[in-house]
C-alpha cells in the first residue's frame, strides 16, 4: 500500500488526540482522556477500513494479518473498556487507555504499509 498520506494522517490524529486528552483541553464539547479515547477509537475504526483492512481480502492467514488482528484486538479492547467503563486492570485508567489506543492505531498503520510483502498481491 503506497498511501503514505493515510499513515501520516493517523500519526497526526493520534498525536493530537493524545495531547488533548492528557492535557485535559476542551475542544468543542470534547474534554478529558476518556472522551478522547472514545473519539480516537471511532476514528481508528474508520481509518482501519482504508489501511489494514486491505490485508483481510488479500491474505487472511498471513502472519502480518494475524499481527494486525492482535493489535486490533488491543485497540478495540481499550476502546470498549472506556465506552462501557469495564474494569480491565491497565485499560480502566483513561490516560493509559488513550496512549495504548494511539500506539495500536499507529502500529496498525505501519503494518498496513507492508502490504507489498504479501505473496501474489495486486498493488492498487
Arithmetic mean of pLDDT over the chain: 86
pLDDT value for 120: 61
Question: Which pTM was predicted?
Answer: 0.88
Quick one: average pLDDT of 103-116?
87
Residue 114 binned pLDDT confidence (cut-offs 50, 70, 90) = confident
Q: Are 58 and 121 in contact (CB under 8 A)?
A: yes
- 104: exposed, middle or buried (Cβ count in 10 Å: 0-12, 13-18, 19+): buried
> Which residue is listed with cell 483492512?
53
Q: How far does CA 5 lie from the centroid of its chain?
A: 16
DSSP at 107: H
Interatomic CA distance for residues 81 and 13, integer angstroms: 21
In the chain, what percentage of residues exceed pLDDT 70? 87
Concatenated DSSP letters for 28-83? TTEESHHHHHHHHHHHHHHHHHHTTHHHHHH-TTSHHHHHHHHHHHHHHHHHHHHH
Compare 82 and 114 and report the one with higher pLDDT.
82
Tens of pLDDT, residue by residue over 54-108, are 666 777 788 888 898 899 999 999 999 999 999 999 999 999 999 999 999 999 8
Q: Is the pLDDT of residue 26 over 60?
A: yes
pLDDT value for 109: 87
Could you give the 3-state DSSP secondary structure of residue 115? helix
Amino acid at each position: 500500500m503506497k498511501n503514505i498520506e493515510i499513515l501520516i494522517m493517523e500519526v497526526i490524529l493520534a498525536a493530537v488526540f493524545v495531547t488533548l486528552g492528557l492535557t485535559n483541553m476542551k475542544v468543542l464539547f470534547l474534554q478529558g482522556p476518556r472522551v478522547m479515547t472514545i473519539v480516537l477509537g471511532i476514528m481508528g475504526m474508520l481509518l482501519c477500513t482504508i489501511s489494514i483492512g486491505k490485508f483481510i481480502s488479500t491474505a487472511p492467514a498471513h502472519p502480518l494479518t494475524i499481527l494486525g488482528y492482535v493489535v486490533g484486538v488491543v485497540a478495540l479492547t481499550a476502546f470498549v473498556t472506556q465506552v462501557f467503563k469495564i474494569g480491565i486492570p491497565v485499560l480502566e485508567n483513561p490516560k493509559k487507555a488513550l496512549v495504548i489506543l494511539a500506539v495500536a492505531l499507529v502500529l496498525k498503520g505501519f503494518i498496513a504499509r507492508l502490504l507489498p510483502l504479501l505473496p501474489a498481491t495486486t498493488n492498487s
